[in-house]
Amino acid sequence: MLILPREPRPDLDLVKDAIAAFREKGRERVRPNDLDARDPAFIARVLPLLGLLYDDYCRCETELEEELPDGPFLAIGNHNAMTGMPDMYCHMTAFWRRYGTSRPAYGLMHDLPFNVPKAGPWLNASGAIAACPENARRALARGAALLVFPGGDLDACKPTSAQYTIRFGQRRGFVRLAIREGVPIVPIVSVGAHQSLYIATDGRRLAEWLGLPRLARSNVAPLGLALPWGLIVGVPIPHVPLPVKIHTRMLRPLHLGLPRGAADDPVQVERAFERIVAVMQAGLDELRAAGRHGLFPRAERGSPRAERGSPRAERGGARRGGAAFAPNVWAGAHAAPGAARARQRAVGLAGLSEK
């Protein structure tokens, strides 16, 4: 198990330049279907500010079971914290730190954020593209990493009581995409961000009654509490997240090993879907058992600070030319046996060859 270490705090001048980059990019036109709108220079300029939030506000701990594939792959994540999802930005920051801002990487995003003044161009320049099969295929054809949150609003707006569950609903498009394009799936599980607010109910029945699936492509109308709005009533607008610690694990790539024609077979697609979700749920259970997340994490051993100077971390940094990795000794030696056994069972049931 590898863990991305903390980096030194950036100079004030770099932070100021990052703010200036946001201000400049906000004046540009948003291009949600243009893969060339991704701007590596912009990402490099804002990364010091994002890194500061990553290390000191979200206290992110990102683990990799092994290096990510060199070619195109489909990263599948669970979604947390409504539309103010800090874990998504943590995934992006971790990827850029490790693999650099020039490596092509995109994320599928709902239409609405592209229309938010200034924020749309920021997200666009960071690699966000409109969520549709054609854009996904085009990104993978470029050899890019592609991040997808299949659960979308159903997963992001699930009640706080269900924060440790994978909710993808009836969405199977990502499975068909991976089969047709012949790319591996990298499951990503994350905990902590859903504690940055409180959601009593996702309000799916209310959303149906109001016709939101047709009017706003929204299947939810959540009720809960969040800063700075106080009460949330039906509109999942972005919130200011509490300073929760986010714990993320990028699992081993899964190679479905299916012929491309299997994408048109509902039975094979469903089997692959169930196997992927089983692996992700088991991984999520392990993070929950570790307890290193939320407002009051139970343990901090194995943190990036504790492991930063290890020889293995230095070798990892030299190998990739990016931020060094350090072994997560705590997770390997002290992870809950029950969760580990569940994970092994899930991988075994999956019948997926792992790189």
Q: Distance between CA atoms of 180 and 223, rounded to whole angstroms?
A: 38
With a CB cutoff of 8 Å and minimum separation 6, the contacts of 300 are 292, 306
Beta strands in 133-284 (DSSP E): 145-148, 185-191, 198-201, 223-226, 230-233, 247-250, 254-255
- The pLDDT > 70 percentage for the chain reads 84
Q: What is the mean pLDDT of residues 231-253?
A: 93
Among 266, 277, 258, 73, which residue's Cα sits nearest to residue 180? Answer: 258
Contact 62, 3 (CB under 8 A): yes
Maximum distance among all Cα pairs of the chain, rounded to whole angstroms: 59
Residue 346, both tokens: 């899930």
Q: Distance between CA atoms of 324 and 236, rounded to whole angstroms?
A: 37
Among 258, 285, 261, 260, which residue's Cα sits nearest to residue 272? Answer: 258
Amino acid at 153: D
Q: What is the pLDDT of residue 137?
A: 97
Q: What is the pLDDT of residues 89-125, one digit of tens each?
A: 999 999 999 999 999 999 999 888 888 888 999 999 9
Q: Distance between CA atoms of 208 and 1, rounded to whole angstroms?
A: 43
Q: What is the mean pLDDT of residues 161-190?
A: 97
Q: What is the mean pLDDT of the chain?
A: 86
Amino acid at 203: G
- Grade residue 83 by pLDDT with cuts at 50, 70 and 90: confident
Beta strands in the chain (DSSP E): 2-3, 61-64, 73-77, 105-109, 128-130, 145-148, 185-191, 198-201, 223-226, 230-233, 247-250, 254-255, 326-327, 353-354
Does 211 or 344 have the greater pLDDT score? 211
Q: What is the pLDDT of residues 8-49, one digit of tens each?
A: 999 999 999 999 999 999 999 999 999 999 999 999 999 999
Q: What is the mean pLDDT of residues 156-178?
A: 96
- Grade residue 311 by pLDDT with cuts at 50, 70 and 90: very low
Q: What is the pLDDT of residue 299?
A: 65
Q: What is the mean pLDDT of residues 258-265?
A: 97
